[in-house]
Every structure is written in structure tokens, then in C-alpha cells.
Structure 1
């Protein structure tokens, strides 16, 4: 059972959206899912509808990764995995990790 999620917000470099999406779905997500502790992933794209962004405007894509087991161990394994970003991905990203609430003992 997953006990945490990692939420990653990204954008492609201008004019490279197809390349970005091919890399993200075809290479990057499978790379992340090979890291111990990461057990699921799903990608989302923003609708072209205005909403209250809460000050977090500008990200078109969101990936949500499910984490199972000790979160510090999964994040350490991710850091050690040496996964490289695509040149088609904009350098500006937002990453946050959330745990179940209330946290499980």
C-alpha cells in the first residue's frame, strides 16, 4: 500500500513538446519506476481553463509518483539512480512529497 506521493510539475522547452512527452512517458517514468520504493505513476496535463492557481502558475504537466515503504529510503535511491533530465524539459520544475494524513505509525 502506498504511503506517500511525489508530485512533480514540469514544462517542455518551447517547440519541443512532442519530444518532451515521448521522453517523459517512454523513458523517464519507466526509469523512476525501476527505483526501489516507487511503485506507480500517472501523468496529467493542465486544462486550458482559468482556475485559481494559488500562485503556482505556469506548469502545464504534473506527474504523481506513488511511494511504498520508507520515504527517505525511496528518495535516497532516487538520488543515487543517476537519472538525467531530457534537454526537451524546461529546467524550472516543482517537486514535493506528501505522506498520508494522519501519518501512519
Structure 2
């Protein structure tokens, strides 16, 4: 059972088309993320009435270790930087740890 999640909210860049944003997420970013230690699954959600898209990454093990593994993967280039993602405002990223059973 996952012990934590990373939640990311982002939107397509206005100068790129939506399909390129979604293609990057599905075919590049999520497969790369699931190669990072601790990240075991990802679900993408779309807004019903405007707003940001959301990705919920499930984490097994210590979320702090997964966060550190992701930082290393980003700095080494194993996980690519966002393509077609609005940077103003930037994506929001939150790590949450499960409490209780």
C-alpha cells in the first residue's frame, strides 16, 4: 500500500498546443517518473470546469527518500524537464505522507 503521494498541478503553455502537453506527460514524463525509486504509479486528472490538470504519483516507502531520488534524477537528466507546461504560474508540487493505517 502506498505510504505517500506527490501531487502536481500544471497547465499547458499557451504557446504550445494541448495535445503536445498531454503527449509529453503520457509518453515521456510519467514513464520516466515511474523509473525513479519510490514512485510506483501515476494518475492524471482533468478539471471539470477550468483550472489546472493534476497528476497524483503514489509513493511506496519513505516519501522523503522518493523526493531525494527525484531530485537526483532531475539533476542527472534521467527525468526530463517540463515541455509545454506553463511556468507563470509554475506548477505546484506537494508531497504528502499517509497518516494512520
* TM-superposed deviation, 1:48: 2.1
State how many pairs are aligned. Answer: 94
| Distance in 2 separating the partners of 1:34 and 1:77 | 10
Give the TM-score normalised by structure 2. 0.85
Partner residue of 1:7? 7
Specify every segment of 5 or more residues in structure 1 that has no aligned partner in the other structure, as ranges. Answer: 50-57
Partner residue of 2:83? 87
Partner residue of 2:95? 97
Partner residue of 1:78? 70
Give the TM-score normalised by structure 1. 0.82
Specify every segment of 5 or more residues in structure 2 that has no aligned partner in the other structure, as ranges. Answer: none
- The higher radius of gyration belongs to 1
